Amino acid sequence: MNLDFSPREIAFRDEVRRFIADAYPPALRAKQKAGEHLGREDYLSWHRALAKQGWIAPGWPVEYGGPGLTPTQKHLLAEELAAADTVRLPPFGISMVGPVIYAFGTAEQKARFLPPTLAGDIWWCQGYSEPGAGSDLASLKTRAVRGVDADGDHYIVNGQKTWTTLAQYADWGFFLVRTDPDAKAQEGISFLLIDMKSPGVTVRPIITLDGAHEVNEVWLEDVRVPVENRVYDENRGWTCAKFLLAHERTNIAGVAASKNGLNKLRAVAQAEGLADDPVYQRKLADLEIDLLALEYTELRTLARESAGKGPGPESSLLKIKGTEVQQRLTELMVEAVGAYALPDRRAIRSGNLGPVGPDWAGRAAPTYFNMRKTSIYGGSNEIQRNIITKMILGL
């Protein structure tokens, strides 16, 4: 999209470009190019560089360590980070629990958790979903029973969470637990911060379609959690949960990353001889139009935020359209590379099979499989449609 940027904004964009060129960890870049699995330290190396620059949390208020960027500067930062193909950092600390803590936490919780979250010294995971509670999250059963002993006021937590992304790296988790089993579903839930090293916490891997270890089961067995780790009032955790989900959904749209993906796809299509294929080009054009419309919607949301209004139900629109675009990008990539998407890339990497096809073919199929998740997580797209029906259309 061509926006008219002021000289100050253009100077900011140039500063971002210079910063990325200087500060992006070369080892991380090399791993990305080789299509290698990224681990905790890979993500943290980039998180820390952004934190040092003051740009890790563009959405946070200045008083809690946000950089005080204008909506246009935030947009430019996101665009440049995506255009330079920097890794998307896990959102759990900066985009999810951080805002909950500064909006609902006590002064002690803010002082204890916000600075290390910004600095990349705490890796967070999100313990919402359970085997029987996904879309119907309020039916969650993980139980927290309050008690007092010589060591103080605490909860004993028992239950099972699932799909917990990158919990294998997490230092802390934010969990929804049931503190009042007799209250109406939404009214008996509390929001707890749990140290993942606490006795009784077990993390077990779930391997996804693309062969990656990205999600986990988390078991909580008699885990002792001090009451001071509860955010907001007891039994009012649902308020924090909803606030967080609206932030999560805006973040999921990934417009800047999709624009970068579209540019890459164009280059691949050209190289694969599809530049003159009218059917393929028509699909690319349709995708670009949807992406452009999405970008306008995201900019409107940013403008609302800068006017002091948090993301509302329109974040459901961003979630649906953003994830559809992401999935279509991966479908068109598989279509472009054709049969080269078929070989088992793990066999190639392990040396059991020589290189097959051009460089860009390697990630096509695993990425296609991996991105099926986007219309499920953060509240499935069907659920987002229900929210739009009720909250926006008023039906």
Ligand X SMILES: Cc1cc2nc3c(=O)[nH]c(=O)nc-3n(C[C@H](O)[C@H](O)[C@H](O)COP(=O)(O)OP(=O)(O)OC[C@H]3O[C@@H](n4cnc5c(N)ncnc54)[C@H](O)[C@@H]3O)c2cc1C
Count of all residues that appear for the chain in the document: 395
Site membership for ligand X, residue 173 (CB under 6 A) = no
- Which of 99, 134, 188, 322 forms a contact with ligand X (CB under 6 A)? 134
> Binding to ligand X (CB under 6 A): which residues in 209-248?
215
Active-site option among 79, 80, 130, 248: 248
Site membership for ligand X, residue 128 (CB under 6 A) = yes
Q: CB of residue 291 vs ligand X: minimum separation in angstroms?
A: 22
- Which of 45, 126, 251, 326 forms a contact with ligand X (CB under 6 A)? 126
Site membership for ligand X, residue 164 (CB under 6 A) = yes
Q: Which is nearer to ligand X, 248 or 272 (CB)?
A: 248
> Which range, of 66-74, 114-122, 129-137, 316-324, touches ligand X by CB under 6 A?
129-137
- Which of 53, 70, 158, 165 forms a contact with ligand X (CB under 6 A)? 165
Q: CB of residue 253 vs ligand X: minimum separation in angstroms?
A: 16
Q: Respond yes or no: is residue 288 known to be catalytic.
A: no
Q: Residues touching ligand X: how many (CB under 6 A)?
A: 18
Site membership for ligand X, residue 379 (CB under 6 A) = yes
Site residues for ligand X per CB under 6 A: 126-129, 134-135, 163-165, 215, 373, 376-377, 379-380, 382-383, 386
Residues annotated catalytic, as ranges: 248
